[in-house]
Amino acid sequence: MTQNELNRAVARATGESRGTIRDLGFTLMAQEAEPATEPTLAIDCPGCGAPLEAHFSDPNRGHVECPRCDAFYPYSEKEIYVSDTEEALLAACV
């Protein structure tokens, strides 16, 4: 898709002129980033079971926060596993 095709499509969808769309600065997205090649370490939330990314730089090391449960849970090293889920999906738990 070219920039002109994008401007026309947005203009058609919004009812604005192509000039207005151009002035608003709609642009094409860059190519998607490559997925991370680093393994992701995860811990299952004891409350809801969702996989949570283990953040070892967290000052509360030894605890993991689940946004869905709105709680911190302690964990042991035995609970950590390498996840095959993409990092973006982890820690969402929402």
pLDDT, tens only, 2-59:
888 888 998 899 999 988 888 888 777 776 666 656 777 888 888 888 888 876 545 5
How far is residue 51's CA from residue 66's CA, in Å, rounded to a whole number? 9
Q: Which pLDDT score, from 0 to 100, does residue 76 have?
A: 83
Q: What is the pLDDT of residues 56-94, one digit of tens each?
A: 545 557 788 888 888 888 888 888 888 876 544 444 444
Degrees, nearest 5: CA angle 60-76-37: 80
